[in-house]
Structure 1
Amino acid sequence: MSDLQRAKAILGDLIGFASISSESNLDIIGYCARHLEAAGARVEVLRDPMGRKANLWATLGPEGDGGLVLSGHSDVVPVANQNWSSDPFVMREEDGKLFGRGACDMKGFIACCLAKAEELAMIAHHQPIHFAFTHDEEIGCFGARALTEVLAQRGLRPRLCVIGEPTEMQVIEGNKGCCEYSVTFSGLEGHSSAPERGVNAVEYAARYIGRLLDLRSDLVARAPDGSRFDPPWTTLNVGRLEGGVAHNVIANHAVLDWEFRPVSMEDMSFVKTEVAGYVETLLGEMRRTHPNASITTETIGEVAGLEPMPENAARDLVFGLTGRNEASCVPFSTEAGLFQALGTDVVICGPGSIAQAHKPDEFVSLDQMQTCLSMFDRLISDRS
């Protein structure tokens, strides 16, 4: 069986696990663990506090610092209300494409890793090769955050990391962060004929949104000189506002979901500080009428971006393995910044296109899978 046939068979198995973020990923992690154990890896399955989710950390070669991490997330986004041509959890091959939920985001990369694990074991004599397969990337990178915290506690710092997000095997050295929040406004209901006697939660949520939109303009002006992101500034989005019960009732409850994608840690701090200050202003006004009024912010996830670095050994390694000589930056978020925070050099490169991710009839092409396998072939050849 060729490497491509093996990877395709593995991908079919991986797609068969409906590892939507809302569900357990233990079955797919167990499958990956068995493959890596068969290749001779030392495997740890690190469960979350509830025991329903897990990260996989596996190592070929010696213990200790250094080495290369091959990283991918095991969870996928939902398929509800999407118009698929066939069962999204049964891989379908057509016209050189492999269809299924997670095919490119990012089970295609994981399949290539597993298909080449036995050969990778043969070159992991002096420097370890690690596999990091995580949970809950799609809803806040919770798995990678937990895993990198474990590595930091152990004093373990890998030297290099390749995140196999779908980049069409282009080399990516920077991505924006992602900060997501859900804000609940609690006011005081009353009859709409006497608005001064109530605290309208929807109105205060609308004013909060207005401040966010003002910040959007500020962020455009703060775009760093020479920024390589598209767009070059930190973006901000209001995703959902829900509140109130009727047109003639003062709304006592509202919920706002919003996010921003910082290009730098400085912008992350700027937005959080400005919003926190404005919340205090709104609360002061609300509580003059109703002392128990509140604004409560739930942080869904805060993930720093991958900051491009002048020196990046992971980028240079992948240049050599792929034959490319140019690296780009992308606006979408990944787990890369969490590994970079360990002091690891990180690059993003994987099969498939982000344009296909999260959509019905998601696919990865056989050509892209082969290109990824060839990257591993070059790594094995160079280190043999």
Structure 2
Amino acid sequence: MTSATTPATAVPSTDDPTAAAPSAAGLAWAEKLVSFDTTSRNSNLALIHCIADELTAHGITPVIVPSRDGTKANLFATIPARDGAVTGGVMLAGHTDVVPVDGQDWHSDPFTPEIREDRLYGRGTTDMKAFSGAILGLLPEFLSRELSEPLHFAWTYDEEVGCHGAVVLLAELAARGIHPRIAFVGEPTSMRPVSAHKSSQLFRVSVRGIAAHSSMTSTGVNAIEYAARSIAFIRSLADEHRLSGPFDDTFVVPYTTANVGLVSGGAAVNTVAEHCDFDFEFRTIPGEDPATVISSIEDHLAQLRAEIQQENPAADIRMVPRGTVPGLSPEGPRAALELAQQLSGHAVEETVVYATEAGLFQRAGIDTVVCGPGNMDQGHTANEYIELSQIAACESFLQALSAHLSPTERTAQP
């Protein structure tokens, strides 16, 4: 492999005027993909079939991998190496779903992309449809090369709600005997290579109490009160990690965090609450086993379960997993990192606090880094946008990858 300090082809800096304008094809595809409302609660099938049609038009065979209920799908495709090989090689991976826009103050229709002041606005522009648009715009470039290794494309569903699609996709690839050597996950990193991120563990706690009139509290069991005690315990774990660690100073938030994001319960102020549910997550730094945190919470809930059932044996409290996204570790072969540094022109190794599908790919034995256009500061927000120069930088990265995978052609150049 070419040394990361002597890149054969590097991406221009994003403040370089030569990087300011993306190709017409890449920009058009980014706009087209944004126009599909693929909020995670919706189907992504229209977008998936749109991409599949484009691949087919270029002679690439798409593999559509549906979800269990058939309402969503992953898509996988490969440009084989010149010797016909379809395993090994490099995989470019992105998700198709986006987060909701509900309650956000948008200045334009989130699913009608607009260009203003050298920015492309719309839901999913930075997270992460511009990356996919750049790939689709460069299909002719990829196909014009005699590739030394196969080039794979992967698009998944439900990344934003637990990375469920990636799990299904990896099972399909294993069944087909396809194992990429390297993966680039194009989440927004400003085209700077990211070698580590935290895990994300999502759970729902459901408390079943006993309803009663509020004037007779002794005859009921208040589910909200037990939920509140659970929430307070989770907060205490978060405080313990914030104060005592363990710490990893490569992260902007250098410790494991926890957050209760949704609470629902009760029927009326004069009624002892019969039900209360809450959803929470925690995010561990690499090197801390999520099972340790889970065990602490389970032990606390077991104690509460004994107490609530002392009040009434019909009452209960349960915790159910909603999604498990492993962290991305900087340990491993590091060939993906070195190649990303070479192609991007950024000799850095960074971390992010958000979770991605990269940890799942790494766990499946694929050497993976995160590197994509845009900045997550704009992701999930009202008036989400991506700088046009970032799309151009992504295209340059992909063009450099295409050249890297064509060493014979590169050698033949004067």
TM-score of the two chains, using structure 2 as the length reference: 0.88
The corresponding residue for 2:34 is 15
The corresponding residue for 2:328 is 306
Of 293, 314, 332, which aligns to 1:292?
314
The Cα offsets for residues 360-379 of structure 1, whole Å up to 9 and x where unpaired, read as 22111111111111111212
SS at match of 2:330: coil
Of 234, 252, 265, which aligns to 2:256?
234
| Offset, 1:123 | 3.5
Question: Bigger shift: 257-266 or 85-94?
Answer: 257-266
Question: Bigger shift: 16-25 or 143-152?
Answer: 143-152
SS at match of 2:380: coil
The corresponding residue for 1:5 is 24
SS at match of 1:258: strand
Matched, 1:150 2:172: yes
Of 294, 298, 319, which aligns to 1:276?
298
Cα distance between partner residues in 1 of 2:90 and 2:244: 35
The corresponding residue for 2:387 is 365
Alignment check: 8 A CA contact 1:11 1:108 kept: yes
Question: Bigger shift: 186-195 or 274-283?
Answer: 186-195
Alignment check: 8 A CA contact 2:251 2:351 kept: yes
Question: In the superposition, relative to structure 1, how do residues 310 and 148 fare at CA in structure 2: closer, same or farther (>3 Å)?
Answer: closer
Alignment check: 8 A CA contact 2:74 2:165 kept: yes
Cα distance between partner residues in 1 of 2:383 and 2:152: 31
Question: In the superposition, relative to structure 1, how do residues 310 and 52 fare at CA in structure 2: closer, same or farther (>3 Å)?
Answer: closer
Question: Bigger shift: 159-168 or 190-199?
Answer: 190-199
Question: In the superposition, relative to structure 1, how do residues 155 and 222 fare at CA in structure 2: closer, same or farther (>3 Å)?
Answer: farther
Alignment check: 8 A CA contact 1:3 1:115 kept: no
Cα distance between partner residues in 2 of 1:244 and 1:194: 16
Question: In the superposition, relative to structure 1, how do residues 153 and 279 fare at CA in structure 2: closer, same or farther (>3 Å)?
Answer: farther
The corresponding residue for 1:246 is 268
Alignment check: 8 A CA contact 2:248 2:255 kept: no
Alignment check: 8 A CA contact 1:191 1:250 kept: yes
Structure 1 residue runs without a partner (length 5+): none
User: What are the within-5 Å matches in structure 2 for residues 105-254 of structure 1?
Assistant: 105-123=127-145, 125-220=147-242, 223-224=245-246, 226-254=248-276
| Offset, 1:227 | 4.1
SS at match of 1:14: helix
Alignment check: 8 A CA contact 2:209 2:221 kept: yes
Matched, 1:102 2:124: yes
Alignment check: 8 A CA contact 2:22 2:391 kept: no
Matched, 1:58 2:77: yes
Cα distance between partner residues in 2 of 1:276 and 1:310: 32
Cα distance between partner residues in 1 of 2:379 and 2:22: 24
Amino acid at match of 2:63: E
SS at match of 1:112: helix
SS at match of 2:108: coil
Between Structure 1 and Structure 2, how many residues are aligned? 383
Amino acid at match of 2:234: L
SS at match of 1:368: helix
Of 344, 355, 362, which aligns to 1:340?
362
Amino acid at match of 1:4: S
| Offset, 1:114 | 0.6
Matched, 1:264 2:291: no
Question: In the superposition, relative to structure 1, how do residues 351 and 201 fare at CA in structure 2: closer, same or farther (>3 Å)?
Answer: same
Question: Bigger shift: 234-243 or 147-156?
Answer: 147-156
Alignment check: 8 A CA contact 1:67 1:128 kept: yes
Cα distance between partner residues in 2 of 1:86 and 1:371: 26
Cα distance between partner residues in 1 of 2:200 and 2:271: 36
The corresponding residue for 2:398 is 376
Question: In the superposition, relative to structure 1, how do residues 265 and 303 fare at CA in structure 2: closer, same or farther (>3 Å)?
Answer: farther
The corresponding residue for 1:353 is 375
The corresponding residue for 1:40 is 59
Percent identity at matched positions? Answer: 38
Cα distance between partner residues in 1 of 2:37 and 2:263: 30
SS at match of 2:289: helix
Alignment check: 8 A CA contact 2:199 2:327 kept: yes
Amino acid at match of 1:336: A
Cα distance between partner residues in 1 of 2:345 and 2:195: 16
TM-score of the two chains, using structure 1 as the length reference: 0.94
Cα distance between partner residues in 2 of 1:115 and 1:100: 19
The Cα offsets for residues 283-339 of structure 1, whole Å up to 9 and x where unpaired, read as 111112211212132322111111112541111111111111111100011111110
Question: Bigger shift: 246-255 or 332-341?
Answer: 246-255
SS at match of 2:262: strand
Cα distance between partner residues in 1 of 2:55 and 2:314: 55
Alignment check: 8 A CA contact 2:78 2:86 kept: no
Alignment check: 8 A CA contact 2:22 2:388 kept: no
The Cα offsets for residues 90-111 of structure 1, whole Å up to 9 and x where unpaired, read as 2211211111111111110000
The Cα offsets for residues 46-65 of structure 1, whole Å up to 9 and x where unpaired, read as 11111110000000013443
The Cα offsets for residues 237-277 of structure 1, whole Å up to 9 and x where unpaired, read as 11122322333432221111111111136431111111111
Cα distance between partner residues in 1 of 2:197 and 2:147: 32
The corresponding residue for 2:104 is 82
